[in-house]
A and B are shown apart, each in its own frame.
Chain A
Amino acid sequence: MEKLQQLQGVAAPLPRANIDTDIITPAKRLLDANRETMHQHTFEPLRFLADGSENPEFILNKPGYRDAVILITGRNFGCGSSRETAVWGLRGLGIRCVIAESFGDIFFNNCFQNSVLPIRLPGETIAELLTEAGDDQGNMQFQVDVAARTLTTPSGRSITFDLTPDRQTALLEGLDEVGQTMKEDAATAAFQLEDRVARPWIYNLGSVD
């Protein structure tokens, strides 16, 4: 996984609640797009008009916000389907940090698998951040420091966010979970050895043939 230590850039305000992963990556795009091309369809129902042209009203299409690295949005962002393509698409658009009052659980987890930092902050703070991000046509610079767990706004305000130590380390060092867990295989083998005696029905499946 790629490291994420510091981030600096524009934050796009998208003040809308319950943006589900069907909006972030519509189902019909799951089939023919891959990690590299998914961003072409990200936010499709919001980002494009019926004729396929860009919707000038959508924040990421506006001058100043096209290169945003942070998204500030409404509560329950990323709810719904487990599709990890939602995070791939955001990353492909250059978004490395999403700030919201709350997130869908699976989306929140998927972010950390793809070096994207989701930050939960109280509703009042989000409202203030949305205002700051909306000022001055998006020329305002936000900063994220993963090691210090701080978000610094253009006006110089510093906000501390929650991040568990294991996730912080994984982001800072770009650790891969599969590789990490493979090292624990002796523990898994020991668990199974005991468990085969305690719960044999888990391992001795019947047959459908």
Chain B
Amino acid sequence: MSQPTTLFHKLWQSHVVRSLGEDLDLLHVDRHLIHDLSGARALTDLQERGLAVRNPELCIATPDHSISSQPGRTLASSPFGERLGGGLQKMAEAAGIPFFGLDHRNQGIVHVVGPETGFTLPGSLLVCGDSHTSTHGALGALAWGIGSSEVVHVLATQTVRQRRPRTMRITVDGELGEGVEAKDVILHIIGHLGVAAGTGHAVEYAGSTIAALGIEARMTICNLSIEFGARMGMIAPDETTFAYLQDRPLVPRNMPGDPTWDRALAYWRGLRSDDDAVFDREVSIDAADIAPQVTWGTSPGQTLAVTGSIPRPDSFVEAEERNNTEVALEYMGLSGGQPIAGTKVDRVFIGSCTNSRLSDLRRAAAVAQGRTVASHVTAWVVPGSVPVKEAAENEGLDQIFLAAGFEWREPGCAQCVATNGETVAPGERCVSTSNRNFVGRQGPKARTHLAGPAMAAAAAIAGEITDVRQLAAVGEES
């Protein structure tokens, strides 16, 4: 009988083109996503070296980082849209890479577009020049972010050189409490483990809590894997995954007489860690311990339950921790010891590859319905892709947001990284459903609090950080 192995090892082994030394392999890349921030540059580098794209049919390119999210936008609506978005179009089309431009019905954030078109498949190896590529692991893909030199390498060779990471399994069991969502689960995990705990590891999320989540919620979990340093995050594909994929346009068709889909299904069903598989590290989390989270500092690990108080620097024993806390509190304009709830906010951003899918927007809309955004708050909803936007509009979510005073915008990364110019002003405080609260991430001196879509919507309504479970019922005096 063969050794019991992990999902990770099965995925890795099935892509080895050649071993290049101890723990170093040349791996086949099945799927490559390309975006506007680095795509045109990489394709130009390749051309300048006299090389061609080896397998353009295994790539997809779409602009997301540099483009405006303003209603009625064109490439010219943002400072670098024409140069980067237009440049990507020119280079991708010349190379024969499928391109989803601003007028295409599948344009969106790369990590939303991949899964929703069926480009991302269980058991596929997918890379992208973006650290949140770990998102795609939610479908049982082996997916991670690469640097721009590696992007050129993949374009030229359809392979990637990679050192085998160690394995970690995070098992979450039990039922999530009322108002607790996937974002809270992963922020809780990062807060619990620390921002470097995953370094050098491929992480598999398992357990009854994870199995009960929909695919979009699983993507939120895998998306933030990189925020505790993990090289990749993944979840074994199951019937939920297959049902999600079934009718996506890029999956193999189940034509009469062509059993490709059934063969794929049979193969995908084998993609799980064997019962006795051994991981280098195992962590168990009890779902009952997880409360709705919001970050207070400048690192995703600086998170707490919305019912909690901001830590005091002197509550840390280690001098370095004390110092980090002081620096973060100063940047964030907060004092230790205060409850986080009640902190006044200026902006709310609902969007990004973490939380901009239909189920995210539904949860935010359920909070917004019949309520009004506080008068001092500017609140944005930026759907992750054109299909998300259309589906939301078909359900009337846009009308709920607009009636409440949110702006309903066009798909892209927008205020997550603000490379399109849509910054949070210096000193402004923003509750954001994105994944990074780093210094200056949403703009110079911008103060970011990460939270899930329901909590973000609640902050917009209340005008301050608030426990979504405590929000006054519609019609009630506040």
Contact = CB atoms under 8 A, between A and B. Distances in A.
Nearest to A191: B17
Interface in A155-209: 164-166, 177-178, 181-182, 184-185, 187-188, 191-192, 195, 199-208
Given A201-B252, A202-B30, A178 B152 contact: yes
A93 B440 CA distance: 21
Contacts of B264: 199, 201
B299 A105 contact: no
- Most chain A beta-carbon neighbours within 10 Å: one of B252, B438, B444: B438
Given A105-B200, A182-B157, A23 B440 contact: yes
B356 interface: no
Given A201-B264, A204-B260, A184 B18 contact: yes
Contacts of A143: none
Interface string B433-473: 00010111101100000000000000000000000000000
B150 A109 contact: yes
A17 B324 contact: yes
Interface string A121-135: 000000000000000
A20 B438 contact: yes
B26 A187 contact: yes
Nearest to B197: A76
Contact of B119 (A105, A164, A205): A205
Given A28-B419, A202-B30, A208 B250 contact: yes
Interface string A10-52: 0000000110101100111011100000000000010000000
A188 B28 contact: yes
A114 B440 contact: no
Given A22-B440, A28-B419, A187-B18, A204 B252 contact: yes
B17 A187 contact: yes
A106 B196 contact: no
A126 to B, nearest CB: 12
Given A181-B153, A205-B250, A191 B260 contact: no
A18 B18 CA distance: 35
Contacts of B157: 178, 181-182, 184-185, 188
B4 interface: no
B394 interface: no
Contacts of B226: 80
A200 B250 contact: no
Interface residues of B, number: 81
Interface string B412-430: 0000011100010000000
B438 A23 contact: yes
Nearest to B323: A16
Contacts of B263: 200-201
B320 A76 contact: no
Given A45-B440, A113-B147, A206-B251, A82 B129 contact: yes
A207 B131 contact: no
Main DSSP-derived SS at the B contact region: loop
Contact of B199 (A76, A80, A208): A76
B13 interface: no
A104 interface: yes
Given A79-B196, A82-B131, A84-B147, A23 B439 contact: yes
Contacts of A200: 252, 260, 263
B119 to A, nearest CB: 7
Given A27-B417, A81-B131, A104-B199, A192 B28 contact: yes
B449 to A, nearest CB: 16
A1 to B, nearest CB: 9
Contacts of B8: none
B145 interface: yes
Interface in B80-96: 80, 83-84
B69 interface: no
A15 to B, nearest CB: 8
Contacts of B291: none
A5 B84 CA distance: 37
B101 to A, nearest CB: 12
B439 A22 contact: yes
B146 A27 contact: no
B441 A22 contact: yes
Contacts of A87: 147
Interface string B355-378: 000000000000000000000000
Nearest to B200: A105
Interface in A70-113: 74-76, 79-85, 87, 102-106, 109-110, 113
A110 B129 CA distance: 11
A181 B252 contact: no
Contact of B324 (A18, A45, A103, A104): A18
A31 B117 contact: no
A201 B229 CA distance: 32
Contact of A208 (B123, B249, B320, B441): B249
B124 interface: yes
A177 B153 contact: yes
A202 B121 CA distance: 8
B68 interface: no
A105 B229 contact: yes
Given A106-B146, A181-B161, A188-B159, A82 B130 contact: yes
Given A113-B150, A192-B28, A201-B264, A166 B20 contact: yes
A74 B319 CA distance: 13
A192 B299 CA distance: 42
Contacts of A181: 26, 153, 156-157, 159, 161
22 contacts: A18-B324, A22-B436, A22-B439, A22-B440, A27-B440, A81-B130, A84-B148, A105-B229, A110-B148, A184-B17, A184-B18, A187-B26, A188-B17, A188-B159, A200-B263, A201-B260, A202-B121, A206-B248, A206-B253, A208-B106, A208-B117, A208-B250
Given A32-B80, A188-B157, 10 more contacts: A17-B320, A74-B320, A87-B147, A102-B199, A103-B199, A105-B199, A177-B149, A181-B156, A201-B251, A206-B253
Interface of A: 17-18, 20, 22-23, 26-28, 30-32, 45, 74-76, 79-85, 87, 102-106, 109-110, 113-114, 164-166, 177-178, 181-182, 184-185, 187-188, 191-192, 195, 199-208
